[in-house]
Each structure stands twice: as C-alpha cells, then as structure tokens.
C-alpha cells in the first residue's frame, strides 16, 4: 500500500487543525484519514491531491466539528450511548457520523467495525440509540452539567417583580456570547424576540417534548430548520426581562412545563 510522506501527513493535520478539534480526537482522526487517503491512492490509482481532496470533502470541517460536539455530549453530559466508557463513546460517535457508514436503527444491537492503521479489524458490539429519538436530557451549555444552575424550577421570588411566581425552567449563569446548544434533535418552531423572554428559540422534539431557550444575545437558526443534538442554536445574552447574562432553559412535555432535572437518571 502507498504510504504518505511527512509533508502529505502535515497537510492532513492542517485540515484537522482548522476544525479546532480536541487534541485526542484530532490525533485519532489523523491516523484514520491518512489511512483512507493511502487506500484510495492504492486501490483507485489516483494522485495524493485527488485522494486528499475526496477524503477531506467527505470529512469536511463541519462534519468534524459535529463529531467533536457529539463526543462531547456522549462523554461530558447526559450520554446518548448508555453505560459506555469514553473510548467506546468515541468509537460509537465516530461510526454514527461516518460518511461511509449507514445509520443504525434505533434500539438495535449493532456491530460496529472501526478501522485504523494500528487495528484493522477492531470490532465492538454496541447498543446504539438513534440520537433523533433521544429525549432532551443534555445540558444546553457545553461542558456544563444540567444540574449546574443558579436558579431552579418551581416557585420563587422573581428578581425583578419581587413576588412569588412559578419559575418554569432553570437558569444558567454564563458569559455573554457563550454558545447555546440544542439538548436533543428536533425542529425549530420559534426563533426571534418574544417580549420579556428576549430573543428566544423553541425546539419541538419527539414524543411531545419541547425545549425553550430565552434571553439570548442572538439566534443562529430559523423556523422550520432541523437541528441535531449539540448543534449551536444561539448565544447567551441578557435580552428581555433580565438582570444579567444568563440562559433561561425550559423543558415541556405535552405543552406543560416540567423540571428538566426530572429527566436525569
């Protein structure tokens, strides 16, 4: 098999660096992408430039960032993959987003083959859950746990009106511009200004669930758009009736607000 030289490997590394991935993931993918290029050059008798272009097109920066976000959710917040180690979660997320693999059916026992230069026939049997059917259990802020909030669900003294009112969600303190992420796959049903809620995004999910993200600085999605778990939908702000930068996050089931923490194991 054709082997890449140092300068060619460096070009692949630059492509990964531009996606700004976590170091461990970038290192693993460097090996994988180089192997794909070498295989294409050997089996299809194409030049490095042609193979590099094809592989980096399949593994675009957008796809790589999506993979990075998916792994972040499987290992740092509520996982889509139940009771898996960090390494197994990475392998599973890699398979789910691979441009060469087929998405598994939900709740099916699926055999995953993960190839690399060091382990050509490494196989794992995993129980994978379709991320489109995962209920909203993740944190809306990357690296933050769902229970890491400053104001919880339920009756409280409103910070502006100074009277007891139902707090329909939970509040996360965060810096202006902090990325706000979809806590499950779904469809955008509202994106814009909504009175005292400021700039707000509403996502409709499977099984009657809806999530609401309020007081945003800006929104990056539009009504009718489909979003994936972990996709950036806006940024933390202080629009509407707000005393400072924070994210107000709500979870509804069949149009009734529920405590987001009730979804945690």
Q: Domain spans of the chain? A: 6-104, 154-263
- Two tokens, residue 16: 């990964």
What is 123-151 written as a DSSP string? EEEEE---GGG--S-S-SSTT--TT--SB
Q: CA torsion angle for 75, 119, 61, 111 (degrees, to 10)?
A: -60
CA–CA separation, 94 and 36 (whole Å): 15
The number of beta carbons lying within 10 Å of the beta carbon of residue 12 is 22
Are the C-beta atoms of residues 135 and 205 closer than 8 Å to each other?
A: yes
**What CATH class does 154-263 carry?**
mainly beta
pLDDT tens digit sequence for 199-234: 999 999 988 999 999 999 999 999 999 999 889 999
Tens digit of pLDDT for each residue in 15-42? Answer: 888 878 777 778 888 888 998 899 888 8
Percent with pLDDT over 70 in the chain: 69
For 238, the 3-state DSSP assignment is coil
The neighbouring-strand residues paired with 218 are 235
Lowest mean pLDDT: which of 36-40, 100-104, 148-152, 243-247?
A: 100-104
Which pLDDT value is given to residue 220?
Answer: 94
Beta bridge partners of 113: 123
Instruction: Give the list of residues 6+ apart from residue 30 with CB closer than 8 angstroms, or none.
Output: 9, 12, 13, 16
Identify the DSSP state of 29: H
């Amino acid at each position: 098999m054709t082997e890449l030289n140092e300068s060619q490997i460096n070009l692949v590394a630059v492509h990964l660096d531009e996606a700004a991935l976590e170091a461990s993931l970038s290192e693993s993918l460097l090996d994988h992408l180089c192997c794909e290029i070498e295989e294409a050059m050997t089996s299809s008798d194409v030049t490095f430039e042609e193979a590099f272009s094809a592989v980096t097109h399949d593994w675009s920066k957008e796809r790589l960032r999506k993979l990075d976000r998916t792994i972040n959710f499987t290992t740092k917040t509520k996982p889509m993959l139940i009771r898996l180690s960090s390494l197994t979660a990475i392998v599973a997320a890699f398979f789910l987003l691979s441009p060469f693999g087929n998405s598994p059916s939900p709740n099916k026992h699926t055999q995953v083959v993960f190839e690399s230069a060091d382990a050509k026939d490494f196989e794992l049997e995993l129980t994978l859950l379709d991320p489109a059917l995962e209920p909203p259990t993740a944190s809306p802020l990357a690296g933050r746990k769902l229970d890491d909030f400053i104001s919880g669900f339920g009756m409280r003294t409103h910070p502006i009106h100074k009277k007891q009112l139902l707090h329909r969600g939970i509040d996360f303190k965060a810096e202006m511009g902090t990325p706000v992420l979809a806590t499950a796959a779904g469809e955008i049903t509202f994106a814009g200004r909504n009175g005292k809620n400021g700039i707000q995004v509403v996502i409709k999910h499977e099984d009657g669930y809806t999530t609401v993200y309020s007081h945003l600085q800006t929104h990056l999605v539009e009504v009718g758009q489909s979003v994936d778990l972990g996709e950036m939908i806006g940024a933390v702000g202080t629009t509407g009736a707000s005393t400072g930068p924070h994210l107000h996050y709500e979870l509804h089931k069949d149009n009734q607000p529920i405590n987001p923490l009730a979804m945690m194991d």
